[in-house]
């Protein structure tokens, strides 16, 4: 099994993740997020993979536009750390929002693919 991650691998995974978020693709999100994911959302709350999936499953989050811009990408063996600036608009619990966020995500290679294991998002 290949253990090293390349910049191409991560940019490809980020593209898949952005599409999964934009279109509430639960199958793709389930595949891309590690079962032990921990993520700090803009409110400061720590969420798990299941909490995140439920946000899409119950329709609480609906994304209209998602425009990512990669800022930094560091590869450390089988782990990648990426920061992005993302312009987002949509509705959360039927309340419209539009803002720019900075995200950091940690991607790690496993036998079944490269998955997000952690991260954080904050409004900027």
CATH (domain of 100): 3.10.450.50
Say if 27 falls within a structural domain. Answer: yes
Count the domains in the chain.
1
* pLDDT, one tens digit for every residue, the chain (124 residues): 456 899 999 999 999 999 999 999 999 999 999 999 999 999 999 999 999 999 999 999 999 999 999 999 999 989 999 999 999 999 999 999 999 999 999 999 999 999 999 999 999 9
Name 18's Cβ contacts closer than 8 Å, sequence gap at least 6: 66, 68
Say if 1 falls within a structural domain. Answer: no
β 79-92/95-110 pair status: antiparallel
Say if 80 falls within a structural domain. Answer: yes
pLDDT score of 86: 97
pLDDT score of 120: 98
CA distance 106 to 82: 7
Beta-strand ranges (E) seen in 32-112 are 33-40, 46-48, 61-76, 79-92, 95-110
pLDDT score of 4: 85
Q: Which residues constitute the domain of residue 20?
A: 7-123
Task: Please report the sign of the dihedral spanned by the C-alpha atoms of residue 49, residue 50, residue 54, residue 55.
Answer: negative
pLDDT score of 67: 96
CA distance 97 to 10: 28
Say if 2 falls within a structural domain. Answer: no
pLDDT score of 73: 98
Query: With a threshold of 0.85, does the pTM exceed it?
Result: yes
């Amino acid at each position: 099994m290949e253990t090293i991650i390349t910049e191409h691998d991560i940019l490809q995974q980020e593209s898949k993740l952005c599409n999964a978020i934009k279109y509430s693709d639960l199958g793709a999100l389930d595949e891309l997020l590690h079962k032990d994911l921990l993520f700090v959302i803009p409110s400061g709350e720590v969420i798990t993979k299941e909490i995140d999936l439920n946000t899409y499953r119950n329709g609480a989050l609906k994304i209209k536009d998602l425009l990512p811009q990669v800022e930094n990408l560091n590869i450390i063996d089988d782990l990648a750390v990426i920061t992005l600036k993302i312009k987002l608009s949509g509705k959360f619990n039927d309340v419209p929002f539009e803002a720019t966020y900075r995200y950091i995500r940690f991607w790690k290679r496993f036998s079944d693919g490269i998955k997000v294991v952690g991260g954080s998002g904050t409004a900027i």
